[in-house]
Structure 1
Amino acid sequence: MARDGADPQARILEAARTEFAAYGLAGGRIDRIAKRASASKERLYAYYSNKERLFLEVLELNLREFASDAVLTDHDVPAFAGALFDHAVLHGDHLRMIDWARLESDGTWRPALEVMLGYRDEQVRRIRLAQEAGRVDAAWDPVELMTLIFGIASAWVHEPGASPAPGGIPDPAAMAGRRTNVIRAVERLIAPCAIRPIN
């Protein structure tokens, strides 16, 4: 249930996050969201004209939080990969929302997508700076490298056998090992002596 003391709109957004991450846009139910938020459907529709508008609001909120949570700093790309992994583990619902948007949207999620593209472009710029500083193999195209790093960092979340059951608690030792492997993989990927990518 939503947290006591939060204003109705905040409760609705929080409840919608849970609902849409689990069921997507098509499967999400406004009545369940309203019940979880301890709000009436009429109050919900006063804030959001329809279910899709609420879905897009949640998606954009998630992406903005992600964009502020995992940022490449000090040319430290492996640490950046570790931060991406941490976010994927702690906020798997964010990745699920992106997946749902890709599957169900007809293109109306563009404003939220632009948040993600802006984030990506900024990290690509920072990767270029890390290349100029000699911290990353200059043979990589920064855009392609960013995609590979994101894929490595989020691999455990998308691998069915590695994810805990819904509501389950990840094993701390397993998570620490996977995080270490993510960082090591990225270290090898960006090392100047790494095998050059095929053009």
Structure 2
Amino acid sequence: MSVKDVSATKQRIIDAARTEFADHGLAGARIDRIATTARASKERLYAYYGDKESLFHAILDEDFGRFLDSVPFDSDDLPGYAVAVFDDLRRTPHIQRLMLWGQLQGQSARAQRLANANPRWDVRLEAIRRAQSAQIIGPTWDPTDVLTVIFGIVSSWVITPGSDGNIDIAPEELERRREIVRDAVRAIFQG
């Protein structure tokens, strides 16, 4: 099998697994469905990724890295950053579902280690500390808690019981929610 074939097969597996895990979580995902969707044998899948949990981790790692690269961080404009996170997760709802599944299925400590080991995460924490020194953000906040609160606000229409998950909503409602995110973050951290 050529390198090109291996890369294409691995990408099909990742794409199929991302959808499967987003829909069913780690416990509910089935390797046979992933292999069928990816047009790959289960043996090939196991050869590349070892087991289902390792495949799940590979996807979480890739999506976390993509998220850090795609949403620029500006500690001087936390409300704008929060809206950018809201928009990014709305465009990629599978990532938010994967994060929630990860939390539900005991992956939060691993996710925290992944964040702590990533220099791009450290850049965000250091930027928050600088903004605190400049009195842009209140000094009593732990930088990790600042990011946690932002994610909580951004995720509210996905995790609140009975919510619509920000799916199939009218443009004016979407804009209203974006303003709520902006105003809430401004009030909490810059108010």
CA RMSD of aligned residues (A): 2.5
Q: 1:190–1:103: structure 2 CA closer, same or farther, 3 Å change rule?
A: closer
Shift in Å at residue 57 of structure 1? 0.8
Question: Is the 8 Å Cα contact of residues 132 and 139 (structure 2) preserved in structure 1?
Answer: yes
How far apart in 1 are the matches of 2:169 and 2:35? Answer: 29
Tell me what 2:115 maps to.
116
Q: 1:103–1:115: structure 2 CA closer, same or farther, 3 Å change rule?
A: same
Tell me what 1:174 maps to.
173
TM-score, normalization: structure 2?
A: 0.83
How far apart in 2 are the matches of 1:141 and 1:48? Answer: 37
How far apart in 2 are the matches of 1:151 and 1:105? Answer: 18
Write out per-residue CA displacement over residues 54-104 of structure 1, whole angstroms, 9 at most, x where no aligned residue: 111111111111121223226211111111111221222222222222332
TM-score, normalization: structure 1?
A: 0.80
Name the count of aligned residue pairs: 184
User: Aligned AA for 2:21?
Assistant: F
Between Structure 1 and Structure 2, the one with more helix by share is 2
Identity rate, percent: 39
User: Aligned AA for 1:115?
Assistant: L
**Superposition map of 1:1-199 within 5 A:** 7-73=8-74, 75-105=76-106, 110=110, 112-117=111-116, 118=118, 119-164=120-165, 169-191=168-190, 194=191
Shift in Å at residue 139 of structure 1? 4.1
How far apart in 2 are the matches of 1:62 and 1:125? Answer: 22
User: Unaligned stretches of 5+ in structure 2?
Assistant: none
SS in 2 for 1:76: helix
Write out per-residue CA displacement over residues 133-178 of structure 1, whole angstroms, 9 at most, x where no aligned residue: 332233433332222122112212212433259xx53332211110
